[in-house]
Amino acid sequence: MTARVLVVDDILSNVKLLEAKLAAEYFEVSTAFSGLEALAKIEEHHPDIVLLDVMMPGMDGFEVCKRIKQNPKTAHLPVVMVTALDQPADRVAGLESGADDFLTKPVDDAALFARVRSLVRLKMMTDELRMREETGQSMGLLDPAQTLVDGSPTGRILVIEDRPESVAWFKAALTPQNEVVAVDSFEEALVCVRGNDPDLIVVSLGLRSFDGLRLCSQLRSLPEGRNVPILVLVSEGDRRKLTQALEMGVNDYLTRPVDRNELVARIRTQLRKKRYSDHLRQNMQLSIEMAITDQLTGLHNRRYMARHLDTLIANAEKS
């Protein structure tokens, strides 16, 4: 996939490094070297995502992010804070300013591309819903995208982990905002996905009793799991497993030890994406129903009758 990426940093070498990495993956890159220039470039180029340095003279990254998110025209634009600051307080400040995600310098390539692609897909879904919302309003229909105003989506999260202390930590971090169910076996995981309709699945790739990658593959093959975001937990330096997971369709990952604020940001992004995806499918079904149904009587309309009448006549002629 390709997208328009705006890279913002006051240091030329940092900008050039990110620009080269992204261009090599066929992203269209524009650059800015200050907060004010970034806001102007957003207005001019309409990027799909912003990679924003925090420590800049004049207007810092936190203030730039606040202005982006406070503007109704750009509030839906994903912003990734790129920073050398790795203290929890800095991540909290980023979340409070409206940042969608974080990258820590020096930027890891796998993390960079995974975050950018994940948030760009979210942006595309948001754009689609905004377009449908405008169309619906122009036709006098109800707003089909009401959840776009919900900045803190919640959902049902399935955690697949066999370490009790890790399960307890996840439950403490994610509840009561979310409904969290934890299982520690292959079979239980499949049963939960089939029966509980989760909004997000978190899979540890360090499971002791079975292969987490094989479970991810199995989940993706299930009709109930095909459209559910999967986030995996990997150990530091386990590049092979991470690459395999991303190749089989896993949406995102976290590296142990997991930072709570980073977890919240990742979960929020994936739940928003799931919500938008569900609404797009519902809207598509609604569009199909409206195309073949009379809105006054609820009966199938002339178009539906003509299509099926031809089939019935053809079958009658054959017999």
Pair of tokens at residue 285: 């079904």
User: Which of the pair, 319 or 102, is modelled with greater confidence?
Assistant: 102
pTM score, two decimals?
Answer: 0.69
Lowest mean pLDDT among 58-67, 99-108, 143-152: 143-152
Give the pLDDT score at 295: 65
Give the pLDDT score at 149: 46
**CA 293 centroid distance within chain:** 34
Give the pLDDT score at 146: 46
Residue 239 has pLDDT above 70, yes or no: yes
Give the pLDDT score at 277: 75
Q: Which of 252, 250, 255, 248 is nearest to 267 (CA)?
A: 252
Spatial separation of the C-alpha atoms in residues 133 and 23, rounded to whole Å: 33
Average pLDDT of the segment spanning 284-313: 69
User: Which of the pair, 131 or 124, is modelled with greater confidence?
Assistant: 124
Highest mean pLDDT among 101-105, 123-127, 178-182: 178-182
Residue 275 has pLDDT above 60, yes or no: yes
Give the tens place of pLDDT for each residue, 129-150: 777 666 655 655 544 444 444 5
Residue 51 has pLDDT above 80, yes or no: yes
Give the pLDDT score at 144: 45
Spatial separation of the C-alpha atoms in residues 262 and 240, rounded to whole Å: 22
- In this prediction, residue 240 has a pLDDT band, given cuts at 50, 70 and 90, of confident
Residue 18 has pLDDT above 90, yes or no: yes
Helix (H) or strand (E) holding 7: strand 4-8
Highest mean pLDDT among 34-48, 69-83, 299-313: 34-48
Q: Give percent of the chain with pLDDT exceeding 70.
A: 86
Q: Give percent of the chain with pLDDT exceeding 90.
A: 49
Mean per-residue pLDDT over the chain, rounded: 86
Give the pLDDT score at 76: 86
Give the tens place of pLDDT for each residue, 208-219: 989 999 999 999
How many helices and strands (H and E) does the chain possess? 11, 10
Burial pattern 129-139, b for ≥16 Cβ within 10 A else e, equals: beebbeebeee
Q: Which of 42, 86, 46, 92 is nearest to 68 (CA)?
A: 42
The structure tokens 């019935």 sit at 312
Residue 266 has pLDDT above 60, yes or no: yes
Q: Which domains does the chain have, with CATH numbers?
A: 4-130 (3.40.50.2300), 150-277 (3.40.50.2300), 281-318 (no CATH)
Give the pLDDT score at 147: 41
Q: Dump the DSSP string for 279-314.
A: HHHHHHHHHHHHHHB-TTT-SB-HHHHHHHHHHHHH
User: Which of the pair, 295 or 196, is modelled with greater confidence?
Assistant: 196
